[in-house]
Amino acid sequence: MKKNAIINSTPVCQVRMQAISDAMSLLSGKWKFHILGTLIEGNTLGFMDLLREVNGIGTKMLSKELQDLEMNNLVSRTVKNTKPITVEYSITEYGKSLSPLIDELAKWGGAYRRSVYKKGKN
């Protein structure tokens, strides 16, 4: 008798797994959380501001990640009619809804780091 999946075959689990995959695909990559976190703190920032704030990022990645985030409605981009033109990036209401998740991630990561430190592994 061939065995089949039991746990993850339930509809509840399927939906949950799908939700996690969705979230992961929107938030994957090296820089998304850094950018989102910075915009949550800073409210409104220009491209060069972000380039300075997000430590280590380059123009290509910043540009690409901002496009991704804008496409998913987590960040808004507004071109100001100034000279020279400036662009304002800010977090959307929807983006703000990520705060609890970011907090949880920071909390867990911090606790993990402290536990490893205690054990003398680092």
Partner DNA sequence: GAAAGTAGTTTCCTGTTGGAAACTATCAAA
Partner DNA sequence: TTTGATAGTTTCCAACAGGAAACTACTTTC
Residues that bind DNA (CB under 7 A): 2-3, 28-31, 46-49, 56-61, 63-64, 66-67, 77, 83-87, 89
Q: Which is nearer to DNA, 12 or 24 (CB)?
A: 24
Phi-psi region of 79 (alpha: psi -120 to 50; beta: other; left: phi over 0): beta
> Per DSSP, which regions of the chain are E strands?
44-45, 75-80, 86-91
Q: Which does 70 bind (CB under 5 to 8 A by kind): a copy of itself, DNA, none?
A: none
Smallest distance, Å, CB 35 to a copy of itself? 11
Residue whose pair of structure tokens reads 């704030």 in the numeric block: 53
Amino acid type, 95: G
Smallest distance, Å, CB 8 to DNA? 16
Q: Which is nearer to DNA, 83 or 119 (CB)?
A: 83
Q: Which is nearer to a copy of itself, 15 or 80 (CB)?
A: 15
Smallest distance, Å, CB 51 to a copy of itself? 9
Q: Is the peptide bond before 84 cis (omega within 30 degrees of 0)?
A: yes
Q: What is the 3-state secondary structure (H, E, C) of 73-95?
A: CCEEEEEECCCCCEEEEEECHHH
Smallest distance, Å, CB 15 to a copy of itself? 7
